[in-house]
Amino acid sequence: MFRTVERTEAGVRLLDQRKLPAETVYVTCASADEVAEAIRLMVVRGAPAIGVTAAFGVALAASQGAGLRPSALDAAIVEARDALAAARPTAVNLFWALARMEAAARGARAAGAGNAELAARLEREAQAIHDEDLEACRAIGRHAAPLVPERATVLTHCNAGGLATAGYGTALGVIRGAVDAGKAIRVLAGETRPFLQGARLTAWELMEDGIETVLIADVAAGSLMRAGQVDLVVVGADRIAANGDVANKIGTYPVAVLAKENGIPFYVAAPTSTIDLAAATGDDIPIEQRDPAEVTEFLGRRVAPAGVAVLNPAFDVTPARYVAAIVTERGIARPPYPASLAALVPFP
């Protein structure tokens, strides 16, 4: 069984998701800056996993700076936080986890903690974020039970699996929950260009679990829906606005529109840490633009003419009206989302 992210003596250990499925290689980040770089390079990706990883990065900085003067350690923690916050802009779990780590640090200092105690507190907080994320995914799987028929073909996009979380997954948590409950589930995995998280990650982790998986080019989802071969869609989320608009991997919005057009329910699975009540609508969510080489090159070899212009947005926003339900660890939110989401977010 793989471990997406864990804190080890040497630092923060990540399964290098860029190498999957060909190689199962772990890398250890020995500093918060290395953790930030790993997030930026997508060694680790997936909104919840990014949050967990960033939290471990802050804890690492705190433990490594325990010998500093207290004010210098506090500055080092702020520096680590800022570097991690700059790594990627769209997934709100990153900022949520960093804010939680910062609150823990403030609380510890306010209670008179010295450096060693502060570091220990932050290590515990990061581990708690990790453990709670894993538990949240399992709860998402349980809460989703009424949404998944006894026999179903489920389309998913990108990887909202164990690799995108501390384990079990959000969208794939819904699928694992259904499989664990004895339902006959077949998964259609969109390959998810340009980074191929579906082909490389979702197909891999579902096959590891023995779950029936069929890989498709993203462009094939539409005609399969029209042919009646999809019973429901479930995806993860990188940020959910207060009105229920969902930012997720580029290509999610097309899937949602196609689902609506074909009368297929479109569900989003995410922990409440993905809900950003400060974003009124999807228009308030920053969308990361990534390197054109993700589109123009394939395994390091060019497929497009040299010099071609490229637009490579990493995410899109699916308006709330396409979303049949949002499954969280605290239960299912249904339209109207402004009320149902607000009710689910603790201490908003």
Annotated catalytic residues are 238
204 is a site residue for a copy of itself (CB under 8 A): yes
258 is a site residue for a copy of itself (CB under 8 A): yes
- Grouping H, G, I as helix, E, B as strand and the rest as coil, residue 77 is helix
- Cα–Cα distance, 122 to 128 (Å, whole number): 10
Q: Which of 113, 211, 220, 345 binds a copy of itself (CB under 8 A)?
A: 220
Structure tokens at 224: 């399969």
Structure tokens at 84: 């991690």
12 is a site residue for a copy of itself (CB under 8 A): no
Task: State the minimum distance, in angstroms, from the CB of residue 35 to a copy of itself.
Answer: 26
Peptide bond before 335: cis, by omega within 30 degrees of 0?
A: no
Question: Which stretch, 51-59, 92-100, 132-140, 309-317, contacts a copy of itself (CB under 8 A)?
Answer: 309-317
Peptide bond before 194: cis, by omega within 30 degrees of 0?
A: yes
- Cα–Cα distance, 324 to 237 (Å, whole number): 14
CA-based diameter of the chain, in Å? 66
Q: Which amino acid is present at 38?
A: A
217 is a site residue for a copy of itself (CB under 8 A): yes
Question: Which stretch, 53-61, 85-93, 112-120, 246-254, contacts a copy of itself (CB under 8 A)?
Answer: 246-254
Q: Which of 254, 265, 331, 335 binds a copy of itself (CB under 8 A)?
A: 254
Contact 103/126 with Cβ under 8 angstroms? no
Smaller CB distance to a copy of itself: residue 120 or 216? 216
Task: State the minimum distance, in angstroms, from the CB of residue 131 to a copy of itself.
Answer: 29
Q: Which amino acid is present at 18?
A: R
Q: Which of 100, 130, 176, 200 binds a copy of itself (CB under 8 A)?
A: 200
Looking at residues 13 to 42 of the shown chain, list those that interact with a copy of itself (rule: CB under 8 A).
21-22
303 is a site residue for a copy of itself (CB under 8 A): yes
Task: State the minimum distance, in angstroms, from the CB of residue 322 to a copy of itself.
Answer: 10
DSSP-derived secondary structure for 115-163: HHHHHHHHHHHHHHHHHHHHHHHHHHHHHTGGGS-SEEEEEE-S--SGG
Looking at residues 134 to 193 of the shown chain, list those that interact with a copy of itself (rule: CB under 8 A).
188, 191-193
- Cα–Cα distance, 145 to 143 (Å, whole number): 6
Contact 65/76 with Cβ under 8 angstroms? yes
Q: Which of 113, 257, 293, 345 binds a copy of itself (CB under 8 A)?
A: 257
Task: State the minimum distance, in angstroms, from the CB of residue 181 to a copy of itself.
Answer: 23
Tokens 């996993």 correspond to: 49
Question: Which stretch, 56-64, 87-95, 147-155, 291-299, contacts a copy of itself (CB under 8 A)?
Answer: 291-299
Determine the distance from the C-alpha atom of residue 1 to the mean position of all C-alpha atoms in its chain, rounded to a whole number.
Answer: 19
45 is a site residue for a copy of itself (CB under 8 A): no
- Cα–Cα distance, 70 to 31 (Å, whole number): 19
Kind plus residue range of the DSSP H or E element containing 343: helix 337-344
316 is a site residue for a copy of itself (CB under 8 A): yes
Question: Which stretch, 7-15, 160-168, 174-182, 194-202, contacts a copy of itself (CB under 8 A)?
Answer: 194-202
Q: Which residues would be at the binding site for a copy of itself (CB under 8 A)?
A: 21-22, 188, 191-194, 196, 199-200, 203-204, 207, 212-224, 226, 250-251, 253-254, 257-258, 261, 287, 295-296, 298-299, 301-305, 307-313, 316-317
